Amino acid sequence: MSLAVLYSRALSGMEAELVTVEVHLANGLPGFTIVGLPETEVKESKDRVRAALQNCQFDFPARRITVNLAPADLPKESGRYDLPIALGILAATGQIPADKLAEYEYAGELALTGELRAIRGALAMTYRAAHSGRAFMLPETNAAEAALVEDAIVYPAKTLLQVAAHLSGHDSIRPYVSQRQTITPHYPDMSEVKGQEQVKRALEIAAAGGHSVLMMGPPGTGKSMLAARFPGILPQMTEAEALESAALQSLDGSFDVAKWKTRPYRAPHHTASGVALVGGGCDFSKLMRLTRNRCDKTDEVFLIGNHFRSALRTKNTSNPRPAQQRQQDIGRIPC
């Protein structure tokens, strides 16, 4: 069989879209081509895959190899496709059986030695894979994160050899068993604030109703201190909320298992530049896009320039001409 088909995932905004990895071997001059809108790191997988297969004592075919990452109009980035590409070559050359390939989705970056390195977005990809009915094969270092998804079947692997042995039936990989521990989120305690009973009452009402809060007063009256303690009086995150927040944070690699069910919190200073607020630095605007189960605080909001506030308001819109379309998506500034 000179054709092998496997499945993986691509991170596209807040989604983890299904990617079909097709590996075809043909006669002709030896070559290795990857098509399907691959980024530079995906194109470089040719050298990583070749070295990993040879160092794992597999035969690398001296044939014309074409790898198609479908759909073709979806950009592919990161080294997560190393593992499915390598397995596709092994299946197309008959070095491993291809009958079980469709039962799993694969993601993992290969070291030149054949070891699997951690990837970002494992939780988001596993969340989508669980709904597709397939198990997920990924690096062992990502197993604890991916296993947070309920009903997900995660197979942690250390090396390419271990995955090949599992698919060949020689040495099975056991599914990862999640050992969830009850982690109590740690927030600054509201009891540390002396006085300010009216403000505390207002914060309690805002927390119960899910409202935004605007605190005004002279410097040193405790506005920032109270805002920092606001997440501690919010209701505890449900499993669905925690999974949504964790999956979205996993897209950019910022999720930490130790912070499971901890509400994201950011406090950019009013002297931060517009570039920092909108596109870099504190990642404030990115956090607004990532999850709605958050608590954000902006210091001295009225000292922020109008053009900065306008940038935050229009950062999240996909409509370049809202006046003509009479529609505008607003990313408001939580205070």
Of the listed ranges 52-66, 78-92, 128-142, the least confidently predicted one is 128-142
Q: Which helix (H) or strand (E) holds 129?
A: helix 122-132
Mean pLDDT, to the nearest integer, of 296-320?
Answer: 55
End-to-end CA distance of the chain: 61
Six-digit token string for 177: 């068993």
The pLDDT-based confidence of 258 (bands split at 50, 70, 90) is confident
Q: What is 3-168's CATH topology?
A: Ribosomal Protein S5; domain 2 (3.30.230)
Beta-bridge partner residues of 117:
109
- Based on DSSP, count helices (H) and strands (E) in the chain, helices before strands: 13, 11
Using CB atoms within 10 Å of the CB of residue 53, give its burial: 0 to 12 exposed, 13 to 18 middle, 19+ buried: buried
Q: Which amino acid is at 92?
A: A
pLDDT at 328: 41
pLDDT at 286: 47
The pLDDT-based confidence of 315 (bands split at 50, 70, 90) is very low
* % the chain with pLDDT above 70: 77
pLDDT at 216: 85
pLDDT exceeds cutoff 80 at 281: no
DSSP structure string for 72-85: TTS-B-SSTTHHHH
Q: Which amino acid is at 245?
A: S
pLDDT tens-digit readout, 152-204: 899 999 999 999 999 999 999 999 987 766 667 788 888 888 888 999 999 99
Best CA proximity match to 49, nearest among 82, 96, 90, 26 = 82
Mean pLDDT, to the nearest integer, of 257-278?
Answer: 72
Best CA proximity match to 7, nearest among 106, 90, 142 = 106
pLDDT at 319: 43
The pLDDT-based confidence of 288 (bands split at 50, 70, 90) is very low
Q: How far apart are CA 123 and CA 260, in angstroms?
A: 12
Mean per-residue pLDDT of the chain: 82
Best CA proximity match to 232, nearest among 257, 255, 197, 261 = 261
pLDDT at 243: 77
Six-digit token string for 167: 């698919």
pLDDT exceeds cutoff 60 at 219: yes
pLDDT at 252: 67
Mean pLDDT, to the nearest integer, of 257-263?
Answer: 79
Mean pLDDT, to the nearest integer, of 142-155?
Answer: 88
The pLDDT-based confidence of 322 (bands split at 50, 70, 90) is very low
The pLDDT-based confidence of 33 (bands split at 50, 70, 90) is very high
Place of tokens 């002709």: 28
Mean pLDDT, to the nearest integer, of 8-37?
Answer: 91
pLDDT at 266: 72
Q: How far apart are CA 304 and CA 294, in angstroms?
A: 21
In degrees and rounded to multiples of 5, residue 121 shows phi and psi of 80, 15
Q: Where are the domains of the chain?
A: 3-168, 190-325
pLDDT at 237: 83
pLDDT exceeds cutoff 70 at 239: yes
The pLDDT-based confidence of 297 (bands split at 50, 70, 90) is low
Mean pLDDT, to the nearest integer, of 8-21?
Answer: 87
For 109, residues 6+ apart whose C-beta sits below 8 A from its C-beta are 48, 78, 79, 80, 82, 83, 116, 117, 118, 119, 139
pLDDT at 188: 86
Mean pLDDT, to the nearest integer, of 26-40?
Answer: 94
pLDDT exceeds cutoff 80 at 134: yes
pLDDT exceeds cutoff 50 at 257: yes
Strands 135-139 and 104-106: parallel
Task: Return the sign of the alpha-carbon dihedral for residues 107, 158, 126, 329.
Answer: negative
In degrees and rounded to multiples of 5, residue 304 shows phi and psi of -75, 135
Mean pLDDT, to the nearest integer, of 108-124?
Answer: 93
